[in-house]
Structure 1
Amino acid sequence: MSTLALKGPYWVTVRQYRRTLWLAGTAVVVSLAVIGGLRIWDAQAPDRYYVDGGRYAADDNRGYEMLRLAVEYGGAYLLFLPLLVGVFVAGPLVAREFESGTYKLSLTQSVSPAAWLRTKLLSTTAAAFLTLIALMGVYRIGWGRVAGSWNLDWAERGPYEATGVVLFAYVLAAVAVGALAGLLIRRTLVAMAATGLVMGVVFLVLGAYRWSFLPVKTLTGPAGPTLWTPDHGLMMDTGLLTSSGARFDQQVCWDEVNRTPGLDGMDDGGMKLFDRCLTRHGATSQYVDYHPQSHFWPTQLIESGILLALAALAALAAFRVLRARHP
């Protein structure tokens, strides 16, 4: 067992932030107790069955509703874990060491500046990964029951990150960005704020554009009943097509209805006028652009690749800054 024990700067880092590690462990235990308890509560009420053999939770199953809410909010909370890790690295782990001057003690113990920083980052990354694996495992316990329900589809914010691998890439990016901010700013609160701002922007930008990484698929059909995406696909756009196959903007007909005097709503002849407008423009079919569920893993890998590139650049810059200031 002695060979497995932490030694040198790794032992110092873990010892120094043991309260944070205990807090992370407590979060995992509490999460497991909540999700496990709700699964047991949900199991007390039998499901109802469709005629075709499918089943769904009974309307009076409060355990299922609470489990669904817990999984919904749990996925949102998991999004904050990389942000918290980055803020912790930027502030208490790096910037505070320079702000208080305690880093000098470590550098007098035959530890090079690069080894000192590497130890801190590897320790933090390992602890964050273990915590993330445990929390994602707990999430999966609840996800297996409520997947596909309202706000819990595979492409939603929260489930998308919590059921894939991209959160690990976010953690690596947050660690690297936090280290760079801490080394550049060297003021605890300012470095924490800067890291939170940068990672927040990264979250928002990638979340907004992730479904632009791959081309959408298009399904067409006759105008009339709503055209749904197959196999739980993520709908990106829908509309009408003319007989030539060109896409038609329905707003043209809505504007015509609104400009017609004497109409009092769609029931007062407005719908007939709208339909005549569609016929006049030859809008005879409809389309829907969507991402099939098979795009989940390619999108995850592309987004993870972008984050790993960001992490590599930030880590390289951090060690260069450290080498320049402490050769």
Structure 2
Amino acid sequence: MSTLTRPKTDAVATTPGTLRGSARVLLRAHRRALWAGAALLALGIGIVVALRVWMASAKELCADGDMTPCGGPVYQPSYARTSSETFLADGGTVLLLVAGLIGVFVAGPLIARELESGTFRLAWAQAVSPAHWLAARLAVPAALAVVGMTVLIAAYRWGLWALRGYPYSSMAHWHASGIFPGTGPALLGFTLLAVAVGALCAVLVRRTLLSMSLTALALGTVALGLGQRRDELWPTAFRQGPDPVRLDSGDWVVDMGRLTESGRKLYWEDCYDYAAGPLQDIEACWRDLGAVAHFSEVHPASHYWPLQLVETGILLALAALAVFAAFRVLRRLHG
């Protein structure tokens, strides 16, 4: 007999308040985790506020952050500004890791530990159906995580906003892998996916450490896969001209090369033998192949929201599939 077989009771009918009651019990049982999450939220906000205060207090002589006389031939940014750029450049990656930790917690201490120890039987024997039991363990962390991550996204965007407009900035652009995931709704989609995958791994494996490891592996695979294929989520803008194509500073250059009169695209790989040869004359290669114009395929800054929304839709679809699978697995196992 499966270890998840529901105990027989005289009355197992649920009431409208069952889910609410399960949520209260869940919050009381994991109040230490809630305090830890609140502390993490406060820490994230505090770091961004501290960086903004540090920048505001830097001794700059000019409005653009120059520490040398305004209009002079030398531009020297403040250490506070360059340090803030360094700290915030990977903020999106940090927020992805935080979302992943939420999924790992759901997989381990929240669900798998109860299934492994057998304490789930106590709840199921007290007029709480398995579906309500799992729904509470999905709804509570999902709601809290979305609220907390929304606050962190707002704080992170507020921090990045202070770095806009500075000349000679070393800050990565909006499409950088360390920034893009943490500035929009895609992070909320990944957070919900983390909760769903954590629940699915927990009901499948029913072992705390193994469920946590499997969840981390699955979420890492999704994050890396989307990061490598993000430029394919929305059609690029095609630009061409007789001279090197002029690009805006916010453009995400996906590919570039030369065009022949027939419109055939030539890439660097087409001239690899020239580059490896003794002359290394790439221009001669282009001419021999009939190149007459330059082209580039880019994502301008206006593609930020389409890319964010498409990625969010993919993540939400994966989350819905994981939730559906988790309930199906639980139903099959408890009978």
Please classify the TM superposition score into its range, dividing by the shorter chain length: 0.7 to 0.9
Which position in structure 2 is the counterpart of 1:322?
330
Name the CA distance, whole Å, in 1 between partners of 2:313 and 2:126: 37
Shift of 1:310: 1.2
Q: Report if aligned partners of 2:198, 2:215 keep a CA contact under 8 Å in 1.
A: yes
TM-score relative to the length of structure 1: 0.85
Q: Which one of the candidate residues 236, 239, 252 is aligned to 2:257?
A: 239
Q: Report if aligned partners of 1:78, 1:158 keep a CA contact under 8 Å in 2.
A: no
Name the CA distance, whole Å, in 1 between partners of 2:267 and 2:60: 47
1:277/1:112 Cα in 2 relative to 1: closer, same or farther (>3 Å)?
closer
Are residue 115 (structure 1) and residue 135 (structure 2) matched? no
Are residue 29 (structure 1) and residue 49 (structure 2) matched? no
Q: Report if aligned partners of 1:91, 1:188 keep a CA contact under 8 Å in 2.
A: yes
Q: What is the aligned-residue RMSD (CA, Å)?
A: 2.3
Q: Which has the higher helix share?
A: 1
Q: Report if aligned partners of 2:108, 2:209 keep a CA contact under 8 Å in 1.
A: yes
Give secondary structure in 1 for the equivalent of 2:162. helix
Shift of 1:250: 4.8
1:278/1:113 Cα in 2 relative to 1: closer, same or farther (>3 Å)?
closer
Which position in structure 2 is the counterpart of 1:204?
224
Matches within 5 A, 1:62-81: 62-81=79-98
1:285/1:141 Cα in 2 relative to 1: closer, same or farther (>3 Å)?
same
Name the CA distance, whole Å, in 1 between partners of 2:137 and 2:272: 61
Q: Which one of the candidate residues 160, 173, 196 is aligned to 1:176?
A: 196
Name the CA distance, whole Å, in 2 between partners of 1:10 and 1:104: 17
Q: Report if aligned partners of 1:90, 1:192 keep a CA contact under 8 Å in 2.
A: yes
Q: Report if aligned partners of 2:257, 2:266 keep a CA contact under 8 Å in 1.
A: yes
Q: Report if aligned partners of 1:219, 1:229 keep a CA contact under 8 Å in 2.
A: no
Which position in structure 1 is the counterpart of 2:235?
215
Which position in structure 1 is the counterpart of 2:6?
none
Shift of 1:326: 2.3
Report the number of matched residues: 305
Are residue 46 (structure 1) and residue 54 (structure 2) matched? no
1:322/1:258 Cα in 2 relative to 1: closer, same or farther (>3 Å)?
closer
**Deviation per residue, 1:197-240 (Å, 9 max, x gap):** 111111111221121122211111224xx433236111011112
Which position in structure 2 is the counterpart of 1:165?
185
Q: Report if aligned partners of 2:258, 2:292 keep a CA contact under 8 Å in 1.
A: yes
Shift of 1:244: 3.5
Name the CA distance, whole Å, in 1 between partners of 2:270 and 2:186: 42
Shift of 1:153: 1.2
Q: Which one of the candidate residues 14, 23, 27 is aligned to 1:10?
A: 23
Runs of 4+ in 1 over 6 A off after TM superposition: none
**Deviation per residue, 1:167-190 (Å, 9 max, x gap):** 111111111111111001000001
Shift of 1:112: 1.1
Name the CA distance, whole Å, in 2 between partners of 1:100 and 1:253: 63
1:276/1:322 Cα in 2 relative to 1: closer, same or farther (>3 Å)?
closer
**Deviation per residue, 1:76-133 (Å, 9 max, x gap):** 2101122111111111111100111111111122211111111111111111112212
Give secondary structure in 2 for the equivalent of 1:146. coil
Give secondary structure in 2 for the equivalent of 1:153. coil
Name the CA distance, whole Å, in 2 between partners of 1:314 and 1:256: 50
Name the CA distance, whole Å, in 1 between partners of 2:123 and 2:256: 61
Shift of 1:292: 1.6
Which position in structure 1 is the counterpart of 2:121?
104
Name the CA distance, whole Å, in 2 between partners of 1:227 and 1:276: 19
Name the CA distance, whole Å, in 2 between partners of 1:120 and 1:215: 39
Shift of 1:56: 4.9
1:231/1:152 Cα in 2 relative to 1: closer, same or farther (>3 Å)?
closer
Are residue 303 (structure 1) and residue 311 (structure 2) matched? yes
Name the CA distance, whole Å, in 2 between partners of 1:61 and 1:154: 22
Name the CA distance, whole Å, in 2 between partners of 1:242 and 1:47: 51
Give secondary structure in 2 for the equivalent of 1:36. helix
Q: Report if aligned partners of 2:93, 2:178 keep a CA contact under 8 Å in 1.
A: yes
Name the CA distance, whole Å, in 1 between partners of 2:119 and 2:253: 54
Between 122-131 and 142-151, the greater mean CA deviation after superposition: 142-151
Give the percent of matched residue pairs that are identical in Structure 1 and Structure 2. 38
Give secondary structure in 2 for the equivalent of 1:288. strand
- What 5-or-longer segments of structure 2 have no aligned partner? 1-18, 68-75
- What 5-or-longer segments of structure 1 have no aligned partner? 1-5, 50-54, 264-269
Q: Report if aligned partners of 1:79, 1:158 keep a CA contact under 8 Å in 2.
A: no
Name the CA distance, whole Å, in 2 between partners of 1:250 and 1:74: 33
